[in-house]
């Protein structure tokens, strides 16, 4: 199947932005899809190793226990050469219960609660991580505000001193101009009086 975009690159990009990677293997395809195996291998060769969880979905579609075991073995064998952490490998089976089964218990193990537990764990870890980051960001903002307030107070004090010096300089300049004008006025008046005599 061809896609109008690079599927593997898109999955790798998304893996960089998520907290949990769930890989579901369908027993019908038996995990032999080359693209799936290549993506799993790429994910295992990056820093995403801790985020990956594997599951066999649609386990109720393989009714015979021996067939189900064969599918699980085949999936495990296909993954064994592509994953780095194979000693802790776990491949639980799950399926969505059917409403039309009349509520009869099924002999097929259903680890759908494990899927939900992994999702809940990832959500809780993300919330805790986000809250820690929020606390750190708030402390940074408070420190920045305190620093800016200190700087603002120092700037105000400096501005007040400069304003006082400016006002004194303006008053001194005005006084000098007045004295100069008075001296010129007296000199001009003396010269006019001398001419008038």
Sign of CA dihedral 177, 180, 186, 187: negative
| Cross-strand bridge partners of residue 25 | 56
Tens-place pLDDT, residues 124-145: 999 999 999 999 999 999 999 9
Query: How confident is residue 184, by pLDDT bands cut at 50, 70 and 90?
Result: confident
Query: How confident is residue 115, by pLDDT bands cut at 50, 70 and 90?
Result: confident
pLDDT at 155: 94
What are the phi and psi torsion angles at 18 (to 5°)? -120, 165
| Strand, helix or coil for residue 164 | helix
pLDDT at 195: 66
Q: Does the global pTM surpass 0.75?
A: no
Tens-place pLDDT, residues 14-69: 999 998 888 888 877 655 577 788 888 888 888 877 888 888 888 777 777 788 78
Residues 6+ apart with CB under 8 A from 93: 55, 56, 57, 59, 68, 72, 108, 109, 110, 111
pLDDT at 83: 79
Look over the chain and give the mean of its residue pLDDT values, rounded to a whole number.
84
Are the beta carbons of 55 and 93 closer than 8 angstroms? Answer: yes
Burial of 71 (0-12, 13-18, 19+ CB in 10 A): buried
> What is d(CA 186, CA 180) in angstroms, rounded to the nearest whole number?
10
Query: How confident is residue 95, by pLDDT bands cut at 50, 70 and 90?
Result: confident
**DSSP one-letter string for 102-115:** TT---SS---HHHH
pLDDT at 100: 67
Are the beta carbons of 12 and 41 closer than 8 angstroms? Answer: no
> What is d(CA 77, CA 40) in angstroms, rounded to the nearest whole number?
13
Query: How confident is residue 88, by pLDDT bands cut at 50, 70 and 90?
Result: low
């Amino acid at each position: 199947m061809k896609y109008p975009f690079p599927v593997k690159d898109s999955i790798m990009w998304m893996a960089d932005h998520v907290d949990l990677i769930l890989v579901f293997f369908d027993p019908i395809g038996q995990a032999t899809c080359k693209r799936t195996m290549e993506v799993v291998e790429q994910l295992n060769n990056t820093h995403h190793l801790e985020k990956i969880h594997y599951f066999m979905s649609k386990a109720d579609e393989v009714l015979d226990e021996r067939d189900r075991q064969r599918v699980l073995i085949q999936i495990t064998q296909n993954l064994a050469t592509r994953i780095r952490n194979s000693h802790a490998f776990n491949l639980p089976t799950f399926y969505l219960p059917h409403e039309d089964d009349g509520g009869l218990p099924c002999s097929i193990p259903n680890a759908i609660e494990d899927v939900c537990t992994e999702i809940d764990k990832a959500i809780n870890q993300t919330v805790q991580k986000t809250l820690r980051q929020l606390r750190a960001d708030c402390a940074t903002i408070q420190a920045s505000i305190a620093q800016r307030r200190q700087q603002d107070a120092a700037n105000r004090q400096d501005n007040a001193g400069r304003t006082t010096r400016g006002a004194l300089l303006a008053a001194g300049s005005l006084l000098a101009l007045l004295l100069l004008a008075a001296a010129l006025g007296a000199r001009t008046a003396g010269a006019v009086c001398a001419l008038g005599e």
